[in-house]
A and B are shown apart, each in its own frame.
Chain A
Amino acid sequence: MKTIIRNVAFGLLGASVAAASVAGPAEDRAAFQKFYENRFPDTPVDDFKNGVYSILPAAREQWESIEEFPPYELAIERGEEIYNKTFANGKSLKDCFGEDGAVRSEYPHWNKERGMVMTMELAVNECLEANGEKPLKYKKGAMADVTAYMSYNSRGQMVNVEIPADDPRALAAYENGKEHFYTKRGQLNFACADCHMHTAGMMYRADTTSPAFGHATSWPVFRSKWQAMGTLHRRFAGCHNNIRANPYKAQGEEYRNLEYFVTYMSNGLEFNGPAARK
């Protein structure tokens, strides 16, 4: 009798393990989004694009009044100038990204020829370099400005990242980003998922953590703490520093794969950058 029960139990276990191991990105995303919808039933799904303000009614009002006179407005203006500036060779960023640079929803994407994740920031620098211009620093300054302009013009586009099934390397990059998100790192032994998933909405020092659903939608941001604009990879590095993990290189493979995973998890939300943050 006992053996039978055990066999049945093992059988069940075997079945659930098998089911788990075939779960691909689409199943991951459904479970990921469901997690947040269950955890924050009062948040309309399309509002997760607003970061911590999607779950913090108390801070929402002040944030909305900040967004009325947004601190990133000057960055958009500076970005527009950079965008339209004529290169020494007579071309400009327009030759790479069109009249207004509204290409936000094209990134990040899997580049099959090169076998790597392409991000918007990387594409901007490659355009500059291909035209004999100097590349920009990835975390702040002119890069944040020009991507603020491009994101602003892209507002309302939907996040729709693809993991092409015909290239196993794309899935590997996704899996790499996924593993990064769920593994504990740094001397303080935290995973992104610890703060931004399993304890999302709780306080860490003076800050409430945002849901990771929506994490990639609103970049770059003007952060009061920085008193300046910063890119997504700047934020990744900040979170790593806080847990005493050495940050990785902005736009290096590790962070690009992490962005690929995180953005894919937000498929179906709107891109709404740039944004203001505490």
Chain B
Amino acid sequence: MSPLEVRQKVVEIIAHIAPDEDLTSLKDDVALREQLELDSMDFLDIVMELRKKHKVEVPPEDYPKLATLNSCVEYLTPKFIS
């Protein structure tokens, strides 16, 4: 899966978790928390959906790697491939 596709998957998950947020103007290098009203419970849901939908596991010590869209893509792309 290409980095662009991984980005798309992450955005889809966020849209599913937070249906009332506007995701069209998300900046890739700014923390998601700063742009959206996401709290730690929502981040747990991103992790949960990654496992359920894409069989991708994110251990708790790696949660900080999901901070921005860029870091998500960097961290998740190799996981999507393997």
Are A and B genuine complex partners?
Answer: no
